[in-house]
Amino acid sequence: MVIKPKVRGFVCITAHPAGCAAHVQEWIAHVKSQPPLTRGPKKVLVLGASTGYGLASRVTAAFGAGAATLGVFFERPSEEDRPASPGWYNTIAFTQAARAAGLYAKNLNGDAFSADIKRQTLDLIRADLGQIDLVVYSLASPRRTHPTTGAVHKSVLKPVGQSYTNQTVDTDKGIVSTVTIEPANDQEIADTTAVMGGEDWEMWMQALSEAKLLAPGAQSVAYSYIGPEVTWAVYKNGTIGLAKNDLERAARSIDSLLKLQHSGGRACIAVNKALVTQASSAIPVVPLYIAILYQIMKAKGTHEGCIEQMARLFATQLYAPTGPKFDAGGRIRVDDWEMREEVQAAVKEIWPKVTTENLTELTDIAGYRSEFMKLFGFGVPVIHYDADAEPHIPML
């Protein structure tokens, strides 16, 4: 099958298996080029392990610290005339590379919110690994079926309290326009918190603790974003921001659990940089901000992608000899280069000037598009996209 990109709005509905594999290899090569994580984790559970920060965390743990990794994710296999989802191919490529390097790597594909997948995960850890010393919580889903109530919660990306109007960009067509987003109602706020908040993280950590599958000193980290004021209405102060507040509440609760019952373990939130991900592409206003940010940070030589962010998080924070540094809210900040005063001042200067006509001049919209396509395995230089590709690859 010759596989070409088919973009629908903010998502590509096809993925290229060889392209995804090459992209994963790029990430592995970056981690191997860095000093080894001599103090790093040894047995790692990654929840949401197939794309983005979750996959980058798994690559960093495995190829930076030689860790055994268990990945949990929910990805779609190929169908007769349709490739699998990119996370499916990413995971196969990672697993092949890890096992070739002599590392333990196993996978569970299913709904991580469900009680059944939790049970399967606990059973596999008990049988193969004994205890886990790092749990990475990096789930990103638009919906959650609650394992206790059976209620289906769907998240929304909306402001809270009042409507919000600002400029945004159609990254496919390159058109800058004004968008108005109506505020969420109380049910939408509650549903978004149920999906993207901290309850499920707490359920996972409680289940692992009760099953005695957490090693002494075990750590857990979940990922968040704060960003600049220009994005706050749809992020920090919007429905997703309120959900992230609940994630921080959960971090404090889990931190207490780990400190008291697991010999001084730790749980925390890492606030990461704005990056092109499947999730961020869906948030109005944010893609335009990212395109401006990339232009500025690349010019300053401080731009990082997912893998560079996670490599820095593990090396200079989570597993640094002196331990992590926290902000006033108890969070690790690897968005620090993004939030530098001179970077944000440049964003503020450029933001009101951007139009459809000068988009390519004032922003890195080309870099945004390139990173977006690489999420799906397209635009990787070493791949011949006119050649036949085999889409039907079984999960390892």
**Alpha-carbon gap, residue 210 to 11, rounded angstroms:** 39
β-strands 43-47, 132-137 pairing: parallel
Q: Which pair of tokens denotes residue 384? A: 């011949």
For residue 235, indicate whether it is catalytic: yes
Catalytic residue among 53, 137, 164, 235: 235
Q: Is the dihedral angle over the CA atoms 38, 44, 50, 53 positive or is it negative?
A: negative
DSSP letter, residue 3: -
Q: Which pair of tokens denotes residue 98? A: 């890890």
Q: Is the dihedral angle over the CA atoms 252, 258, 264, 269 positive or is it negative?
A: negative
**Alpha-carbon gap, residue 205 to 12, rounded angstroms:** 33
**Alpha-carbon gap, residue 195 to 222, rounded angstroms:** 14
**Residue written as tokens 């969420």?**
184
**Residue written as tokens 């075990």?**
218
Count of CB atoms situated within 10 Å of the CB of 210: 11
**Alpha-carbon gap, residue 271 to 213, rounded angstroms:** 27
- Reported as type and span, the H/E element at residue 96 is helix 86-100
Q: Which one-letter amino acid corresponds to residue 16?
A: H
**Alpha-carbon gap, residue 312 to 37, rounded angstroms:** 11
Q: Strand ranges (DSSP E) for 172-256?
A: 175-181, 214-224
Please report, for residues 2, 18, 268, 380, 389, the alpha-carbon distance to residue 384 in angstroms, rounded to integers and kept in the order given.
Answer: 10, 9, 42, 9, 9
Query: Which are the catalytic amino acids?
Result: 235
